[in-house]
Amino acid sequence: MKSFRFLLTRIRVFVLLLIILCAALLFVIFISATARPELFTAFLLGGGLLILIIAGLYQFVHKPYKGTSRLLKLFAQGYTMERVYDMPNPISPEITDAFNRFKELVNTTELINLSVKQSQYLALQNQINPHFLYNTLEGIRGEALSAGVTSIAQMTEALSTFFRYTISNVDRLVTLEEELENIENYCIIQQYRFGDRLSLSVEVDDEDTDWILNCRMPKLTLQPIVENSIYHGLEPKLGKGNLKIKVESTKSRLIITVSDDGLGFEEERLSILNNALNGISVDYVKPDSEKKGGIALINVNSRIKLLFGEEYGLYIYSSPGAGTDVQITLPILTENVNIN
Amino acid sequence: MKSEILRLQNVTKVSSGVTLLDQFNMMVYKGEIMGLLPLNTHGISAFLDVICQNTPISSGCIYFNEKEKNYPGYITESPNKVYVIEKTSSLAGNLTVSDNIFVLRKGFKKYYISNKVLKAQTKILAEETGIHIDPGEYVDRLSPLQCCVVELLKGMAGGAKLFVLNELASFLSSVALSQFHKILLHYKEKGYSFIYIGSHHEDVFKICDRAALMKNGRIIKVLDKKEFLYEKLMPYILDYHLATPSNFIKGKSPLLEFDNVTTENLNSLSFTMLPGECVVLLDMNNTVIGDILMLMNGQKQPHSGSIMFDGRKFETRDGRKALQKGIAFIEENPTKTMLFTQMSYLDNLCFLVDKRDKGIKLTPKIKKSIEKEYYSLCGPDIQAVDITRLSAKSLYNLVYYRIHLHNPKLVILIQPFSGADMYLRKHLVSLIDSLKKRGMAVLILAVNIADNLAVANRLIIVQKGKNIREYRQEVFRSIDPHDFLVGQNA
| Three-state secondary structure string covering chain A | CHHHHCHHHHHHHHHHHHHHHHHHHHHHHHHHHHHCCCHHHHHHHHHHHHHHHHHHHHHHHHHHHHHHHHHHHHHHHCCCCCHHHHCCCCCCHHHHHHHHHHHHHCCHHHHHHHHHHHHHHHHHHHHCCHHHHHHHHHHHHHHHHHCCCHHHHHHHHHHHHHHHHHHCCCCEEEEHHHHHHHHHHHHHHHHHHHHHHEEEEEEECCCCHHHHHCCEEECCCHHHHHHHHHHHHHCCCCCCEEEEEEEEEECCEEEEEEEECCCCCCHHHHHHHHHHHHCCCCHHHCHHHHHCCCHHHHHHHHHHHHHHCCCCEEEEEEECCCEEEEEEEEECCCCCCECC
Residues 222-261 of B with CB under 8 A from A: 222, 224, 235-236
Q: What is the mean pLDDT of residues B408-429?
A: 88
Assess whether pLDDT exceeds 80 at residue B187: yes
The pLDDT value recorded for residue A10 is 87
pLDDT band at B76 (very low <50, low <70, confident <90, very high): low
Tens of pLDDT, residue by residue over B320-372, are 788 888 899 999 889 988 999 899 999 999 888 777 656 567 788 888 888 88
B200 and B108 in a common domain: yes
Residues B426 and B392 in one domain: no
- Whether residue B235 and residue A83 make contact (CB cut-off 8 A), yes or no, is no
- The range of the structural domain enclosing residue B350 comes to 340-406
Q: Domain of B476: which CATH number?
A: 3.40.50.300
Percent of the residues in chain B that have a pLDDT greater than 90, as a whole number: 34
| Alpha carbon distance A177, A213 (integer Å) | 5
Closest chain B C-alpha to A27 CA, distance in angstroms:
36
Does the pLDDT value for residue B244 go beyond 60? no
Q: Mean pLDDT throughout B143-170?
A: 91
pLDDT of residue A299: 84
- Choose the most confident range, by mean pLDDT, from A96-100, B461-465, B482-486: B461-465
Task: Tell whether B202 and B65 lie within a shared domain.
Answer: yes
Residue at a domain's end among B233, B261, B295: B233
Q: For the residues B458-474, what does the mean pLDDT come to?
A: 88
Residues of chain A with pLDDT below 50 are 125, 127, 284-292
Q: Hey, are the CB atoms on B66 and A311 less than 8 Å from each other?
A: no
Pair (B469, B357) in one structural domain:
no
For A68, name the nearest residue in chain B, comparing CA atoms only: B73
- In this structure, are B219 and B244 located in the same domain? no
Helices (H) and strands (E) in chain B, counts: 16, 21
Statement: residue B419 has pLDDT above 60: yes
Nearest of B325, B372, B367 to residue B350 by alpha carbon:
B367
* Predicted pLDDT at B471: 87
pLDDT at site B186: 94
B147 and B207 fall within a common domain:
yes
Q: What is the mean pLDDT of residues B196-220?
A: 91
Mutate which of B221, B223, B233, B234 to disrupt the A interface (most A C-beta within 10 Å)?
B221
Distance, in Å, from the CA atom of B432 to the CA atom of B416, rounded to the nearest integer, reads 9
- Of B113 and B231, which is predicted with more confidence? B231
Distance of CA A62 to the CA centre of its chain: 32
Whether B128 maps to a domain, the answer reads yes
Q: Long-range contacts of range B15-20, CB-CB < 8 Å, 24 or more positions apart? A: B15/B46, B19/B217, B20/B45, B20/B46, B20/B217
B25–A315 CB contact, under 8 Å: yes
- Shortest Cα–Cα distance, A68 to chain B (Å): 6
User: B477 or B146, which is more confident?
Assistant: B146
Within-domain flag for B320: yes
* pLDDT of res. A116: 61
Greatest alpha-carbon span in chain A: 119
Per residue in B122-155, pLDDT (tens digit) is: 888 888 888 888 988 898 889 899 999 999 999 9
How far is CA A178 from its chain centroid? 23
pTM over 0.80: no
Q: Show residues of chain B in contact with A87, CB under 8 Å.
A: 73
The pLDDT of residue B487 = 40
Mean pLDDT of B81-100: 89
Inspect the interface and report whether the beta carbons of B29 and A74 lie closer than 8 Å: no
The answer for residues whose C-beta is within 8 angstroms of residue A19's C-beta and 6 or more apart is A50, A54
Q: Point out the residue among B29, B66, B73 whose CB comes nearest to the CB of A70.
A: B73
Is there a single domain that holds both residue B265 and residue B382? no
Any idea what the Cα angle at residue B204 is, between residues B175 and B240, rounded to 5°?
A: 100
Q: How far is the alpha carbon of A77 from chain B, nearest alpha carbon, in Å?
A: 10
Question: Do A250 and B73 lie within an 8 Å CB cutoff?
Answer: no
CB contact under 8 A, B59 and A74: yes
Chosen for mutation from B5, B6, B9 (greatest number of chain A CBs closer than 10 Å) is: B9
The nearest alpha carbon in chain B to A274 belongs to B23
Question: Least CA distance to A261: which residue of chain B?
Answer: B232
How far apart are the C-alpha atoms of B465 and B287, rounded to whole Å? Answer: 7
Same-domain check for residues B70 and B108: yes
* DSSP structure class, residue B96: B
| pLDDT score recorded for residue A107 | 62
Inside any domain, residue B452:
yes
Residue ending a domain, choose from B386, B406, B426: B406
Same domain? For B248 and B287 the reply is yes
Range with the lowest mean pLDDT among A126-130, B285-289, B379-383, B443-447?
A126-130
CB spacing of A71 vs B1 below 8 angstroms: no
Q: Which of B180, B198, B233 is the last residue of a domain?
A: B233
Rg (CA), chain A: 30
Q: Give the number of domains in chain B.
A: 3
Instruction: Give how far B56 is from chain A: nearest CA, Å.
Output: 10
Tell me the chain B residues in contact with residue A211 when contact means C-beta distances shorter than 8 Å. Answer: 1
Taking residues B401-428, what's their average pLDDT?
Answer: 89
Whether residues B20 and B148 fall in one domain: yes
- Are B103 and B138 contained in the same domain? yes
Q: Beta strands of B47-174 (E only): which ranges? A: 59-64, 67-71, 74-75, 82-85, 162-166
Same domain, B416 and B305: yes
10 Å CB burial of residue B369 (0-12, 13-18, 19+) is: exposed
Which of the 8 DSSP states describes residue B101? I
In-domain check, residue B184: yes
In a domain, B218, yes or no: yes
Residue B332 placed within a domain: no
ipTM associated with this complex? 0.74
| Mean pLDDT of chain B, nearest integer | 86
Cβ atoms of residues B266 and B291 within 8 Å:
yes
DSSP state of B275: T
Chain B residue numbers touching A79 (CB-CB < 8 A): 59, 72
Distance CA B138, CA B131 (A): 16
Distance from CA of B232 to the nearest CA of A (A): 8
For residue A287, what pLDDT is reported? Answer: 46
Residue B333 in any domain: the answer is: no
Restricting to B residues 76-115, those with a Cβ less than 8 Å away from any Cβ of A are none
Chain B residue with the nearest C-alpha to that of A67: B73
Q: Residue B25 gets which letter from DSSP?
A: E
Count of other CB atoms within 10 angstroms of residue A113:
16
H-helix or E-strand containing B307? strand B304-309
- By the 10 Å C-beta count (0-12 exposed, 13-18 middle, 19+ buried), A146 is classed as exposed
Q: Which residue on chain A is closest to B226 by alpha carbon?
A: A203
**Residue B241 confidence class, pLDDT cut points 50, 70, 90:** low
Q: Helices B144-157 & B174-189, crossing angle to 10 degrees?
A: 20
- Interface of A to B at Cβ within 8 Å reads 67-68, 70-71, 74, 79-80, 83, 87-88, 205, 207-208, 211, 246, 248-253, 264, 271, 274-275, 278, 311, 315, 317-322, 325, 327
Domain assignment present for B331: no
Of B176 and B110, more confident: B176
